[in-house]
Amino acid sequence: MTTALSIRAYTPDDFDAVRGLWNACGLTRPWNDPARDIDFCMETPTAALFVGEADDTLCATVMAGHDGHRGWLYYLGVAPDHQKNGHGEAMVRHAENWLRGLGVHKVLLMIRPENEAARDFYHAAGYEDEPRIVMARRIDGCDVMARIIDKDSTS
């Protein structure tokens, strides 16, 4: 039986549990270092990372932020053994309320095309597909494929 979810702000003591959760949920990629992403979030006044705890276990996260125009959600994850208990939706609503408190009127998020479970989850939570093209360019000088190849060759 899963107890109610308690949501609070991330603290540095949560790092190992958060990284483990993100790995278990398939949220990490070789080019997205969790430590760097969390540090950047924590140093940004318009961003926050929230953790959810149930059964004395850190079992959920969501990162939220805004760019001065729209709010964004990232790193929503619920431990596999805590899914289907409403924890994901609770985390989303918590992040939305935080953003609303900052005056944000609209929340966006990105889903990888192959992640149909995430798409279904967000549809059920009231999110809609919008006809947009997301474009990106790395400006950190990092060749993503070189990092992946280097990592694979050192494993």
| pLDDT per position as a tens digit, 75-125 | 999 999 999 999 999 999 999 999 999 999 999 999 988 989 999 999 999
- Residue range 145-152: average pLDDT? 56
Instruction: Say if strands 107-108 and 71-78 run parallel, antiparallel, or are unpaired.
Output: parallel
Name all domains of the chain by residue range, CATH numbers in brackets. 6-130 (3.40.630.30)
Q: Residue 3: name the closest of 75, 56, 62, 45 by CA.
A: 56
What is the pLDDT, as a whole number, of residue 137? 87
Burial 115-151 (b: 16+ CB within 10 A, else e): eeebeebbeeeebeeeeeeeeeeeeeeeeeeeeeeee
Is residue 87 within 8 Å of residue 76, measured between CB atoms?
Answer: no
Is the separation of the CB atoms in 79 and 54 below 8 Å?
no
16-60 pLDDT tens trace: 999 999 999 999 988 889 999 999 999 999 999 999 999 899 999
pTM to 2 decimals?
A: 0.86
65 neighbors 71 (Cβ within 8 angstroms) = yes
